[in-house]
Structure 1
Amino acid sequence: MRVSTKGRYAVTAIMDLYVHGLEGPVTLADISERQHLSLSYLEQLFARMRRHDLVQGTRGPGGGYRLARPADSISVADVIIAVDEPVDATQCQGREDCDAGERCLTHDLWSELSGQLQDFLDDITLAELGEQPSLNRLFPDTDHHLSPPGAPGRA
């Protein structure tokens, strides 16, 4: 089992927005260039994330996207679910018809794994991802964490 490309790209794109959005709105063209993702694909992902109130857009010169809520209130699971990617390890998407219309012998195992994966991703926020040393190494010219001013954990 793995998280789909759509889910991984959405998390990558919103993290780019978080990292680069501290100074103001970020354009999808900039995210596309930095992350090597298709602009049209980003437009689709951001439309879905906007409908789930994860991001908000500003039109016009100087416009772009920013987070709609504080980074510590947006979980990785929120992002994946917003782009219609359920976290599900079962073959039947939870319908219990995995073995020729019947429940398979290992359904409970895969269902429990799905729940644990959902809980794991739900417990990780964008702010927590921003505190990872690997992300802060990408910005060596700063002596602070990626958290916005006044946020807990910012030096």
Structure 2
Amino acid sequence: MKISTKGRYGLTIMMELANRYGEGPTSLKSIAEKHQLSEHYLEQLIAPLRNAGLVKSVRGAYGGYILSKPAEEITSGDIIRVLEGPISPVDFTEEDDPAKRDLWIRIRDSIAEVLDSTTLASLITFKDEGRSDSYMFYI
């Protein structure tokens, strides 16, 4: 499974909202400018996040978006599933070999476990403590 720009930029939006949680609404324009992304593309991504109940929109001159709940309660899995769909390395209906099917299921479950155990709060407070296997985010 390859995470597309939808998933990566969606995480960017949500991390920015998490960083500013409690400070009021954040405009997509400010996020787009900070990360040098297309505001129009971010507008396309925010709609499914809003429909899924992960963000709320605030109208008005100082409007924008806020998280619908604390960053500790939103996982990267929640975001990726909304924007990318189900987490699956292959279509299991096409796999007849039980050994390979078991491999794909274990891979899927491992990916899901990492995504579901990584909250927005942990992403915005991540510190590389000298681990060679640490995460690298290119946004």
Range class of TM-score, shorter chain? 0.7 to 0.9
Once the two structures are superposed, residues 12-61 of structure 1 have per-residue CA deviations (whole angstroms, 9 ceiling, x without a partner) of 11101211344211000011111122112111111000011100010111
Please say if residues 16 and 31 of structure 1, whose CA atoms lie closer than 8 Å, have aligned partners that are also in contact.
yes
Please say if residues 21 and 70 of structure 2, whose CA atoms lie closer than 8 Å, have aligned partners that are also in contact.
no
The residue number in structure 2 matching 1:150 is: none
| Higher helix content, 1 or 2 | 2
1:67-86 correspondence to structure 2 within 5 Å? 67-86=67-86
Residue among 102, 112, 118 paired with 1:118: 112
Please say if residues 3 and 84 of structure 2, whose CA atoms lie closer than 8 Å, have aligned partners that are also in contact.
no
SS of match in other structure, 1:112: helix
SS of match in other structure, 1:66: strand
Mind listing any 5+ residue stretches in structure 1 that lack a counterpart?
135-155
Q: Does 1:43 align with 2:43?
A: yes
Structure number with higher relative contact order (C-alpha < 8 Å, ≥ 6 residues apart): 2
Q: Percent identity?
A: 38
| RMSD, matched Cα | 1.6
1:13-32 correspondence to structure 2 within 5 Å? 13-32=13-32
Alignment coverage as a number of residue pairs: 127
Query: Normalized against structure 1, the TM-score is what?
Result: 0.75
Mind listing any 5+ residue stretches in structure 2 that lack a counterpart?
129-139
Please say if residues 13 and 35 of structure 1, whose CA atoms lie closer than 8 Å, have aligned partners that are also in contact.
no
Q: CA deviation at 1:86?
A: 2.4
2: CA distance between counterparts of 1:64 and 1:40?
A: 14
2: CA distance between counterparts of 1:88 and 1:9?
A: 20
The residue number in structure 2 matching 1:109 is: 103
2: CA distance between counterparts of 1:66 and 1:17?
A: 6
2: CA distance between counterparts of 1:5 and 1:86?
A: 16
2: CA distance between counterparts of 1:36 and 1:82?
A: 23
